[in-house]
C-alpha cells in the first residue's frame, strides 16, 4: 500500500519546498518510489518534484476543483497507478490554513489534508525562537481539530543547544505532536527565486549531486525510517474508469524553457477527450508539427524574449496557423507570445507572433494575483456561451495597447465579486487570456477544445477534397 504525508508550513518561506524536495530525494536514495503532489495553483514546484522523484507531479486545488476531482487525481496516481508508488508526498501552499479567503478553508493545504484524510507534518522556521516555537506548533495543532498535525520539524536551527531547547519545549508543551527533527541552516541548498517565484526546473535543474546534498541535509536532522513508520496507508477505494479513447485530433503543446506552466491534469483530460499531444519548442523549432490545434501555456517569455523574437520562422508559422481559423488557446505567458510585441522594463520593443494586434508591457510591480472564475459570453474553443471554468491569475505584465478587433468574451469573478476588467480575448479562432484555467473545474472544457480541432480538420479536409475535384475536372 502507498503511504501518504502532507508537508505544510506556517507561512510562505519557512522552508517547506526545500524540506519536501529533500525528503523526496532521501526516500528515492533509499530505494522507495515517490509520487509528489502540490497543493494550490503552483506550476514551478511540481517541476522540481519531477526531477527529484522521476514522476510528473500533480496539482491538488480545493478552489479550482471539488473534493471528488482532488481525490480522483490523488488516487489515480497512487494506489491505482500502474506503477504504484511506495510514498505520496503532498507539498502544501503558503501557510497550512491559508487559502482563497480569511474566513474559509477553500484552496488551503488544510482542506486538501482533510479531503485525503492525510497526516500533516508542519515545517516551522525556528530562527530566533525556542519555547515560542512550541507555542506556534500548539496553536496550529489546535486551530482545526479535523486537521491531524502528526509531526513538526524545525528548520534553520542554529546550534545543538538551540535544538535541545526546541526538543525540551516540544516535550513539555506539545507532547501529542511528534518532533520529526531539527534541521540546520544551509542557504546553499535554497533554489533561487525570481518575480513569479522560484526559477523553473528547466533553468535550474536539480543535479544528482545537489539532490544528494539535500538528502544528506535532511537525514542529519530527521530519522527517515521513524517518519515513514508513523505514516498511514492509503485505502484504495474504487479504481477510476480507464477507457481506451481513439485519437480524434492532434494538438501541438508549446513546451520549453519559455513555456512550461501546465497543469498535468489539463494535458491528461485533453488526451482522455481524444487528443494526441505533440510537444514542440517555440525557442528551438523553426516550424510547427502537423497538428489541428495549438496550446500555449504560461512561463517566462519575457526572460526568453530575445530567443523567441529571433525565431522568425516559428513566429510566422504560429501567426499563419491562427489566421487559418484553426483553434489556438493561450494562457498568460503564451498569450503574451501571441501579441504583436513585448516591451521590456527598459523600453525595448521585441516583436512576437502578432496573432493579436496588442502590445504587452512588463511592469516592475505585480499586476494580478488570485483565483478567478470565468463565464464565457460567446462560443469559443472552450465550449458554448455561458461555459464556466475556474483558474488562477499571476503576472507582472499587462496589455499596454489593446487589439481593437479582438472580442473580450470572459466575464470574470474573483473571490469577492465580478471584475470590471475585460478578459478572454477572441480573434479568428484564437483565445488568449492571462488566466490559467484548470480543465478539471469543468469536465466539458477539454472535450470542447478537441471537438473544435476536429471540426476545423473536417473543414480543411472538405476544402481540400473540393479543390482536388476541381483540378481533376479540368
Catalytic option among 14, 182, 260, 332: 332
Query: For every residue of the chain, which 3-state class applies, written as one string?
Result: CCEEEEEEECCCCCCHHHHHHHHHHHHHHCCCCEEEEEECCCCHHHHHHHHHHCCCCEEECCCCCCHHHHHHHHHHCCCCCCCCCCEEEEECCCCCCCCCCCCCCCCCHHHHHHHHCCCEEEEEECCCCCHHHHHHHHHHHHHCCCCCEEEEEEEEECCHHHHHHHHHHHHHHCCCCEEEEEEECCHHHCCCEECCEECCCCCCCCCHHHHHHHHHHHHCCECHHHHHHCCCECCCCCCCCCCCCCCCEEEEEECCCCEEECCHHHHHHHHHCCEEEEEECCCCCCCCCCCCEEEECEECCCCCHHHHHHCHHHHHHHHHHHHCCCCEEEECHHHHHHEEEEECCCCCEEECCCCEEEEEEECCCCCEEEEEEEEECCCECCECCCCEEEEEEEECEEEEECCCCCEEEEEEECCCCECCCCEEEEECCEEEECCEECHHHCCCHHHHHHHHHHHHHHHHHHHHHHHHHHHHHC
332 tagged catalytic: yes
Catalytic (active-site) positions: 332
Amino acid at each position: 500500500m502507498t503511504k501518504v504525508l502532507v508537508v505544510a508550513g506556517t507561512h510562505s518561506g519557512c522552508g517547506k519546498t526545500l524540506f519536501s524536495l529533500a525528503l523526496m530525494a532521501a526516500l528515492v536514495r533509499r530505494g522507495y518510489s515517490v509520487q509528489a503532489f502540490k497543493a494550490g495553483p503552483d506550476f514551478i514546484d511540481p517541476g522540481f518534484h519531477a526531477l527529484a522523484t522521476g514522476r510528473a507531479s500533480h496539482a491538488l486545488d480545493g478552489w479550482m476543483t471539488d473534493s471528488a476531482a482532488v481525490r480522483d487525481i490523488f488516487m489515480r496516481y497512487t494506489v491505482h497507478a500502474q506503477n504504484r508508488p511506495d510514498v505520496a508526498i503532498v507539498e502544501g501552499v503558503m501557510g497550512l490554513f491559508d487559502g482563497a479567503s480569511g474566513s474559509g478553508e477553500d484552496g488551503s493545504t488544510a482542506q486538501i489534508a482533510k479531503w485525503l484524510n492525510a497526516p500533516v507534518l508542519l515545517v516551522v522556521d525556528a530562527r530566533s525562537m525556542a519555547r515560542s516555537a512550541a507555542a506556534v506548533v500548539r496553536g496550529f495543532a489546535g486551530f482545526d481539530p479535523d486537521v491531524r498535525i502528526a509531526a513538526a520539524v524545525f528548520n534553520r536551527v542554529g546550534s545543538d543547544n538551540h535544538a535541545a531547547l526546541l526538543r525540551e519545549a516540544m516535550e513539555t508543551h506539545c507532547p501529542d505532536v511528534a518532533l520529526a527533527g531539527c534541521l540546520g541552516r544551509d542557504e546553499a541548498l535554497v533554489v533561487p527565486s525570481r518575480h513569479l517565484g522560484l526559477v523553473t526546473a528547466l533553468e535550474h535543474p536539480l543535479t544528482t549531486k545537489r539532490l544528494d546534498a539535500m538528502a544528506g541535509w535532511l537525514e542529519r536532522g530527521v530519522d527517515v525510517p521513524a517518519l515513514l513508520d508513523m505514516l498511514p496507508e492509503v485505502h484504495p477505494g474504487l479504481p477510476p474508469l480507464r477507457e481506451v479513447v481513439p485519437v480524434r485530433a492532434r494538438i501541438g503543446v508549446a513546451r520549453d524553457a519559455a513555456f512550461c506552466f501546465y497543469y498535468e491534469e489539463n494535458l491528461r483530460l485533453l488526451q482522455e477527450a481524444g487528443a494526441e499531444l505533440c510537444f514542440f519548442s517555440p525557442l528551438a523549432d523553426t516550424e510547427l508539427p502537423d497538428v489541428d490545434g495549438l496550446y500555449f501555456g504560461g512561463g517566462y517569455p519575457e526572460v526568453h524574449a530575445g530567443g523567441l523574437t529571433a525565431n522568425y520562422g516559428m513566429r510566422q508559422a504560429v501567426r499563419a496557423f491562427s489566421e487559418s481559423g484553426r483553434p489556438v488557446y493561450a494562457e498568460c505567458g503564451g498569450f503574451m507570445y501571441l501579441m504583436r510585441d513585448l516591451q521590456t522594463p527598459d523600453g525595448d520593443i521585441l516583436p512576437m507572433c502578432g496573432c493579436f494586434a496588442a502590445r504587452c508591457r512588463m511592469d516592475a510591480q505585480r499586476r494580478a494575483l488570485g483565483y478567478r472564475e470565468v463565464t464565457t459570453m460567446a462560443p469559443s474553443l472552450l465550449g458554448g456561451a455561458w461555459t464556466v471554468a475556474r483558474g488562477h491569475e499571476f503576472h507582472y505584465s499587462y496589455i499596454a495597447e489593446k487589439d481593437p478587433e479582438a472580442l473580450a468574451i470572459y466575464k470574470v469573478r474573483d473571490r469577492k465579486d465580478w471584475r470590471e476588467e475585460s478578459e478572454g480575448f477572441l480573434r479568428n479562432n484564437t483565445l488568449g487570456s492571462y488566466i490559467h484555467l484548470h480543465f478539471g473545474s469543468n469536465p466539458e472544457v477539454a472535450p470542447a477544445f478537441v471537438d473544435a480541432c476536429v471540426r476545423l480538420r473536417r473543414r480543411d479536409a472538405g476544402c481540400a477534397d473540393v479543390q482536388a475535384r476541381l483540378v481533376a475536372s479540368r
